[in-house]
Structure 1
Amino acid sequence: MYIALGSNMFTTSENYATLLQTALELINQNILDGVIWATVKFNESELPTTFNLSNGDIVPISNLINNLHPHIYIMKYAPQFAILSHENTKVFLSHGGVGSGHESMYTATPMLVLPIALDQPGNAERLELTGMALKLSKLDLKVDDIISKVVRLLNEESFKMNAKRMQVLAKFNSKRKYRGADLIEMVLNLAKHDSSRNENGELEVDIETLLRSWITPDSRMGFIRGNYLDVFGAVLIIALVLLISLGYGFYKAALFGFRKWSLRSRESHQRLSKTKNE
């Protein structure tokens, strides 16, 4: 597994400790055989001095920081694209930056996304929708949750297939111009990942499924949903209800004040008339 949380991104010392603990547990449980962590930002003094593993082993933090652990390597810089391109890199734990997301798609590497700030939460949502990624929460980062999601990325075939599907799109869309042969090749490659065989062993492809990445939202969801008219309509109705409620409230308050003023004015007039008569 390759970990990189961005060259200018920071998270809490508790989250860094959780990620280190998770890396140790993944290796200890033979789920992974190695972890590379680049662009490290944590301060050793803010981390626990030792990590207690589920099997009872105790690992000093100094072993990790000084790269004395045989299966974990921590570095300030790494050639990310080269690492992701290597066949032994099975999972990429990233902050969800645009560049990292594109490189992960280009190399067909399933992702575990820990968004920290800026556009990263939105990127994490979109990557998860492609079917090649799972997301984590920086506000509730748990060792068991990370381990279970790494296991899913490694064992569920759908993540690998979707990563390969996105790789085809990333490679062809990285070119400045399309050629007819490129488009034909892309459709043929996508068909491998989005098709099924009928009883005669022939490939059957649903065109809408095959080209879903190119079909615009209004075509997939209809005019109203595709143009967010349902959202705008709901907002407009809520705004009108609020305005009417406020207007009615002001009207009732003004009416109450007017009636009270009228009553006091009438009583005052009556007292004045009574005084004159006396």
Structure 2
Amino acid sequence: MYISLGTSVYTTPENYAILIQSILELINQNILDGVTWATVLQNETKLPSSFKLSTDDVIPTSNILNNLYPHIYIMKFAPHHGGAGSCHESMYTATPMLILPIAYEQPSNAEQMELNGMSLTLSKFDLKVDDIILRVLRLMNERSFKMNAERMQVLAKFNSKRKHSGADLIEIVMNLAKLNDVKNENNEPEIDNEILLRHWITPDSRMGFIRGNYLDVFGTAVIISIALISSLGYAFYKTIKFAFKRWSLRDGNLRDNSSKLKNE
């Protein structure tokens, strides 16, 4: 098991003692065969002088801190601090996690990882040995954690290819600069980004405010819309007026005919 609790954020000595006690119990019960711990311990004197296991075995703390205990190795340096970097590494390698969030972005990272089904979270305010052992057993025995980790691995590997895209962009710029024939007065290559990268410059930077913000297009669309609405409105008005006039003439003729019949 690999443990990373950061090199800039620390928890309490009591929590460190509980974690060490949990690790020793897990190793003693043959649940784990070893632990690598990447951290920077401070106030080591506040740790208990020894740890007593459930089997009554006693292990001096100095043996653990000085790497004399064969199943625990405390590293002096690690390339990440247990926050976002550790989450990304675990996703990339499909490794289920047991997270103890301390501060900053770590609580939100822990929540997201647990929602994705590839981790379990511990509380720094209620840390217990039995709880840690139970969660480690769940992570190792329940297939769902590994399956969800493999699902996240696919996404992590797919998105990690963006670094290759970034390298390609750098290579493109270097080659364009090398093939650029423009030189200054000292016969040294002169780089003009507006010329070198002109195929990446968006058209709006070469336009005025009106064209750059498509105000001319919107204005034309508004004018055409107004013209169409006005034309349709005028045509509707003329149609109603014509129909009303025809109805009025017909009604008038009917009245004239009825009056003639009465007179006769």
TM over 0.5: yes
Q: Residue in 2 aligned with 1:51?
A: 51
Does the 8 Å CA contact 1:16/1:42 hold for their aligned counterparts?
no
Deviation at 1:175, TM superposition (A): 2.0
Query: Deviations along 1:6-60, whole A, 9 cap, x unmatched?
Result: 1211110000101111111110011000001012323221100010100110111
State TM-score, norm by structure 1.
Answer: 0.57
Which amino acid in 2 is paired with 1:54?
A: S
Q: Residue in 2 aligned with 1:167?
A: 153
1:122 paired with 2:108, answer yes
- What percent of counterpart residues are identical? 70
**Counterpart mapping for 1:146-165 below 5 A:** 146-165=132-151
Which amino acid in 2 is paired with 1:115?
A: P
Two-structure CA RMSD over aligned residues (Å): 1.9
Which amino acid in 1 is paired with 2:108?
A: G
**Counterpart mapping for 1:1-278 below 5 A:** 1-78=1-78, 95=82, 97-176=83-162
Which amino acid in 2 is paired with 1:38?
A: A
Does the 8 Å CA contact 1:130/1:162 hold for their aligned counterparts?
yes
Deviation at 1:79, TM superposition (A): 5.4
| Unmatched segments (≥5 aa) in structure 1 | 81-93, 180-278
| Unmatched segments (≥5 aa) in structure 2 | 166-264
Distance, in Å, in 2 between the alignment partners of 1:43 and 1:159 is 35
The aligned length equals: 165
Distance, in Å, in 1 between the alignment partners of 2:163 and 2:55 is 55
Q: Residue in 2 aligned with 1:91?
A: none
SS in 1 for 2:162: coil
Distance, in Å, in 2 between the alignment partners of 1:78 and 1:123 is 19
Deviation at 1:176, TM superposition (A): 2.3
Query: Deviations along 1:188-239, whole A, 9 cap, x unmatched?
Result: xxxxxxxxxxxxxxxxxxxxxxxxxxxxxxxxxxxxxxxxxxxxxxxxxxxx
Which amino acid in 2 is paired with 1:47?
A: L
Q: Based on CA coordinates, which of the two structures has the bigger radius of gyration?
A: 2
Which amino acid in 1 is paired with 2:70?
A: P
Where do 4+ consecutive residues of structure 1 move more than 6 Å?
none
SS in 2 for 1:37: strand
Query: Deviations along 1:148-198, whole A, 9 cap, x unmatched?
Result: 00000000000011111100000001222999xxxxxxxxxxxxxxxxxxx
Q: Residue in 2 aligned with 1:271?
A: none
Distance, in Å, in 1 between the alignment partners of 2:163 and 2:77 is 33
Distance, in Å, in 1 between the alignment partners of 2:164 and 2:58 is 56
